[in-house]
Structure 1
Amino acid sequence: MTGRKLSAAAAISLMAATALVGCSPLISSGACVDWVLYDTPTDAATEADAVVIGSVIGPAGTATEFGLEANVWRVAATTWVQGRGGSEIEVVSAPRTCENGAPYPDGDPLDVSTDVLLFLRADGDRWMTITPYQAVLPAPTDPGIPSVWP
């Protein structure tokens, strides 16, 4: 993975540490997350709590993430490539922050009608995509993790 981006967990830790010393609120409308960019899908899988092949069933509501209203989706998980979970899960689509059109300037990556491969992190009783950029891929024909980004 490239060294110029922080993981979501590191960004949250940094924001929490800042809040503890009273310099800024934990989450504000101006919070910017500097998402990690992974060199390969294998690198993304290494950082993910789970990798799932499934299909998006439909919306399940919204959640506030990093000061933005993020979409939550119901996903039918057909194959757990990595990690464990149920056959139907809720996934928060990680928002892009501090961009025109936030939280999804190019459209929500989970707003799809095809099977997908998801790189996820645990988020309480649901899951969240590990980044807004590299967490949703078309499902591979082989149920493994591709070696290169499409």
Structure 2
Amino acid sequence: MLLTSCGDKMTGGPGTEEPTPNPTNSPTPTSSLLGSTSGLDPSAGPFACVDWVWFGTPQDLYDNAGPVLIGKSVSRAGETTIYGHKAMTHLVEVEHVLKGEPREGNLRISSMPPTCSGGESYPDGDPLDPNQRVIIFAQKQGSEWFTMTPAQGVLPFQQGTELPFQ
């Protein structure tokens, strides 16, 4: 992953001032970051604009995700920062682990924020806000769990619905 600075310096993992290396098996933003500060306040601190990878199908998303879970957010549990942007952290009740490391029970997961949104953390709403059953595609950054991307980290999922991947 190539990072460039949109603010006064490059930033990385949650709550850090330096880039966080990404393990080779973890999904990453695409290889560039956009260098525009239009609409953003550089005096607010360092930030980066990430050009996120787009997965063509739910199967592609599943294949590239770390853990994949079925669950729902039961409450907000604070916030953290990633790439210099605020990310809302949720306490997620994990109903079923479809793939990966975490166990069923409660897990703290932060919604990956879009990073070139003019300073607003979730212009289209936080995907973990609704108290509804969802599929979460996650990745670990440092010691914290995040949805994989801002736009494709969470899919709605109703009881009795077939999974959109194998």
TM-score class, shorter-chain normalisation, is 0.7 to 0.9
Of 78, 86, 94, 2:112 maps to 94
Of 98, 112, 117, 1:81 maps to 98
User: 1:13-32 maps to which residues of 2 (within 5 A)?
Assistant: 14-15=2-3, 25-27=9-11, 29-32=46-49
User: 1:1-150 maps to which residues of 2 (within 5 A)?
Assistant: 10=1, 14-15=2-3, 25-27=9-11, 29-86=46-103, 87-100=105-118, 102-141=120-159, 145-147=163-165
Larger relative helix fraction: 1
Q: Which range moves more in the overlay, 94-103 or 42-51?
A: 94-103
Aligned length: 129
Q: TM-score, normalised by structure 1?
A: 0.77
Pairwise CA distance, 1:69: 1.1
RMSD: 2.1
Q: Which residues of structure 2 form unaligned runs of 5+?
A: 12-44
Q: Percentage identity across aligned positions?
A: 36
Contact residue 89 and residue 111 of structure 2 kept, 8 A: yes
Q: Deviations over 1:8-64 (max 9, x none)?
A: xx3xxx22xx68xxxx72216441001111111110111110100001111111001
Q: TM-score, normalised by structure 2?
A: 0.70
* Runs of 4+ more than 2 Å apart: 123-126, 140-145
Q: Deviations over 1:77-97 (max 9, x none)?
A: 010011131311111100111
Read off the aligned partner of 2:164 and give its amino acid letter.
P
